[in-house]
Amino acid sequence: MTLAKTTFAALLASAALATAAGACEMTLRSSDTHPDGYPTVEAVKAMGGMVEERTNGRICIEVFPSAQLGEEKDSIEQTQFGVIDLDRVSLGPFNNIVEETQVVSLPYIFRSVDHMHHVMDGPIGDEILAAFEPHDLIGLAFYDGGSRSFYNSEKPIHSIADMKGMKFRVMQSDIFVDMVDALGANATPMPYGEVYTSIQTGAIDGAENNWPSYDTSGHYEVAKYYTLDQHLIVPEVLVMSKLTWDKLTPEDQAIVRQAAKDSVPIMRDLWEQQEKVSQDKIRAAGVEVVTDIDKTPFIEAMAPVYQKYVTTDKLKDLVQRIQATE
Ligand code: GTR
């Protein structure tokens, strides 16, 4: 942990030096919905440090946090068009674009974050990264998004029965709409940036997310009941516009790809620290956290979602291989 922090600081320092020297021939603009300091934002900055160092300052990365370049669905389109060069996004908003991402966005597909790492760090992860290319995107690396659970402003949820009729925001993906329907609640897909106000005004009762997002979005201020049903472990991805990629020499492409891979352990280390910090902050703020939840009925309720989405032989095979991964 100390090593990663030291490396990270050194990378940022070398990036600052290269930038100060004004040597960047190409500056890649990278989008993230999260604020400065969030693990994904800092990981892409660290990647930028590596890219600058390894290209002798020719290629730089500038991270635009807090959805400055747009909400995720729009930022994906902008990246496909080459307006944005790099985009760090959850796989959720890709579900309606890149079919293979649906499988790793299914509720309870991963048994744990470790299981998700084993799958995404292996051949299945490589296949999914490659699946972006026909959609004008280059999949570079997977990041973490912890596990997502429901929170709301109304009451503590102890069972599926408690969810009946409640309104939850989900990411803009059909799978998550069906997931919430299967739990007897109503789903409203909407951009992340609209969730706080929508809970505050009562347009929705709540949403679902991991500890760091629940914290940094401020949603815990308006939705004070969090139930750790952990229905989703959705990996996150860093993609590059294929238009930008094609402007790079093969050598520079290799540098960018390797730097993205090298930013993953930094991201995981920062993530582990942030999860603890966010959890402590949220509990200290008086949020009621329900931990004694029986997940079995939640898992069983997902059968129709699997039936609806896992239809082709390709997707069935992917699900089987994920389940068979230790
Ligand atoms: C976060 C994720 C973001 C975004 C957000 C959301 O956990 O890191 O990329 O997808 O959730 O719910 O929109």
- What is the Å distance from ligand 1's center to 192 Cα? 7
- DSSP β-ladder status, 86-90 and 26-32: parallel
Which protein residue's CA is at the shortest distance from atom 6 of ligand 1? 192
Q: Is ligand 1 within 6 A of the CB of residue 209?
A: yes
- What is the Å distance from ligand 1's center to 127 Cα? 23
Residue ranges of the chain that CATH labels 3.40.190.170: 3-145+235-277, 148-232+288-324
Q: Is ligand 1 within 6 A of the CB of residue 91?
A: no
Threshold 0.75, pTM exceeds: yes
The pLDDT of residue 11: 55
Per-residue pLDDT of the chain (326 residues; tens, 9 = 90+): 333 444 555 555 555 554 555 689 999 999 999 999 999 999 999 999 999 999 999 999 999 999 999 999 999 999 999 999 999 999 999 999 999 999 999 999 999 999 999 999 999 999 999 999 999 999 999 999 999 999 999 999 999 999 999 999 999 999 999 999 999 999 999 999 999 999 999 999 999 999 999 999 999 999 999 999 999 999 999 999 999 999 999 999 999 999 999 999 999 999 999 999 999 999 999 999 999 999 999 999 999 999 999 999 999 999 999 999 99
The pLDDT of residue 130: 98
Task: Give the largest CA-CA distance in the chain.
Answer: 61
Q: Is ligand 1 within 6 A of the CB of residue 217?
A: no
Which protein residue's CA is at the shortest distance from atom 5 of ligand 1? 192
- What is the Å distance from ligand 1's center to 22 Cα? 34
- What is the Å distance from ligand 1's center to 57 Cα? 31
The pLDDT of residue 12: 56
CB-count exposure of residue 6 (10 Å: 0-12, 13-18, 19+): exposed
Minimum-distance ligand 1 atom for the alpha carbon of 213: 7
Minimum-distance ligand 1 atom for the alpha carbon of 170: 12
- What is the Å distance from ligand 1's center to 144 Cα? 11
Q: Is the dihedral of CA 114, 120, 121, 122 positive or negative?
A: positive
Minimum-distance ligand 1 atom for the alpha carbon of 88: 9
Coil, strand or helix at 193: helix
Sheet of strand 26-32: strand arrangement: 59-64, 26-32, 86-90, 236-241, 137-143
The pLDDT of residue 13: 55
Pocket perturbation via mutation, ligand 1, pick of 89, 168, 171 by most ligand atoms within 8 A of CB: 171
The pLDDT of residue 3: 39
Q: Is ligand 1 within 6 A of the CB of residue 145?
A: yes
The CATH architecture to which 3-145+235-277 belongs is 3-Layer(aba) Sandwich (3.40)
Q: Which residues contact 128 (CB under 8 A, 6 or more apart)?
A: 98, 100, 101, 104, 120, 139
The CATH architecture to which 148-232+288-324 belongs is 3-Layer(aba) Sandwich (3.40)
Q: Is ligand 1 within 6 A of the CB of residue 171?
A: yes
- What is the Å distance from ligand 1's center to 155 Cα? 23
Q: Is ligand 1 within 6 A of the CB of residue 72?
A: yes
The pLDDT of residue 23: 81
